[in-house]
Structure 1
């Protein structure tokens, strides 16, 4: 029956899609989950990169929740939290309203729109152009990168 074949084909396609994306999903999960779990583990210890131990041995410096109780008692933490809240409450809505106003303004035609549009986009265009020019200059045949490679290898880079 052709009506029953379509759902079966759709199910097979979904299974194939899942199987094909599974390695990428596992990778993304590992990239996101591993650092989170590692930081939670380390936060329950007195481990430091300067302690001479690898992070996997941090369990020997276990301190339960002492880091969190110290943080709760630290005035600098609460001050930083207040400043962050102020920035979030004031700046985020202000930036949203400014962006919405500009988007509404540029949606309509008005005299000088192209000039104002260019002025607003100029900072976004200058940075990549300057970065591109800098890399162009760095990798010139007489540039510093090729001079260093020539000195290290003993062969002139052309």
Structure 2
């Protein structure tokens, strides 16, 4: 007769203290990101520290020529900025542009990614190659291209719209109206941002189990219901990450505005980045420009902290 291996499972009795084993924190994500953090700290520590010190001083052009130390003014630069209505209008304009451009970019990027899952493999490969070319174009070059396309005298956009019967778009200036001008800038930013979003989200869609979508289809769910209740919840961490990155990139908008407005952006086209540059190097108010940059960094710290937190959470889940 074979021996039977009997195992006694002890269950806690009523009133006995329950011992809970605490899960040790996973330090692997921190260890993996440490080299990049050290490199970034080495590259950015001195410029950020110098900018912070300069924001508490009154650096003028004469100090640069004479090589003298600028006087300390404490929080006077910050007080001047925070009580300036123009600065807050620039902050509001930058925030509105960021929200609108990121929302459009993420929605269109998701639409392109879903389209890539439904086309044949050669077409998908052609789409990825085309988007990689778009992504590889420098911002300066793409801004110059868009500037030429909407030119009032030789722009191809005006020419094509002018061909519509009953529409007169000859010599139309897109930047005379700030709404139309920002529509052009937003289109440029969205066009340049879709490749990253579409390719990244397409990679995420490959991780959605086909069994779940097939089961939902068998149960009578339509494409929209499958997307809403299965695909989007699975892609939620990835969508949060790409959205946060887009917010960080678009909030620091500089090159596109600077190029399309011929290095002299009007007040209606100022963003935080161009406003800080104009104050520092256009008016020789270097300390004031540094203070604006410091405030911009502080505004972005919350977004960057949220992004880093999401990265560590995904690392813990994995």
TM-score of the pair, normalised by structure 2: 0.28
1:121 Cα shift?
A: 3.2
> Per the alignment, do residues 91 and 126 of structure 1 end up closer, same or farther by CA in structure 2, a change over 3 Å counting?
closer
Q: Shift of the alpha carbon at 1:109?
A: 2.0
Give me the whole-angstrom Cα distance separating, in 2, the residues matched to 1:29 and 1:127: 28
- For 1:36 and 1:126, the matched residues in 2 are separated by 28
Higher relative contact order (CA 8 A, sep 6+): 2
SS of 2:94 mapped into structure 1: helix
Runs of 4+ in 1 over 6 A off after TM superposition: none
The answer to whether residue 110 in structure 2 is matched with residue 100 in structure 1 is yes
Residue-pair matches, total: 104
Structure 2 unaligned spans of 5+: 1-30, 142-318
The yes-or-no answer on 1:90 pairing with 2:100 is yes
Question: Which runs of structure 2 are paired with 1:111-126 in the superposition (5 Å)?
Answer: 113=123, 117=127, 120-121=130-131, 124=134
Superposed counterparts of 1:131-150, under 5 Å: none
| TM-score normalised per structure 1 | 0.52
Show CA shifts across 1:68-97 (max 9, x none): 000011121111100011012211111011
Query: RMSD in angstroms over aligned alpha carbons?
Result: 3.6
Judging by fraction of residues, say which structure has more helix. 1
**Structure 1 position 33, deviation (Å):** 1.1
What is the alpha-carbon distance in structure 2 between the residues aligned to residue 101 and residue 127 of structure 1? 22
Q: Give the counterpart of 1:66 among 76, 80, 97.
A: 76
What do the CA deviations read for 1:98-128 (whole angstroms, capped 9, x no partner)?
1111011112225x93697279538528958
Residues of 2 paired with 1:63 and 1:36: CA distance?
19
How big is each residue's C-alpha offset from its partner over 1:14-53, in whole Å with a ceiling of 9 and x where there is no partner?
xxx9xxx6xx93x542321111111010000111354235
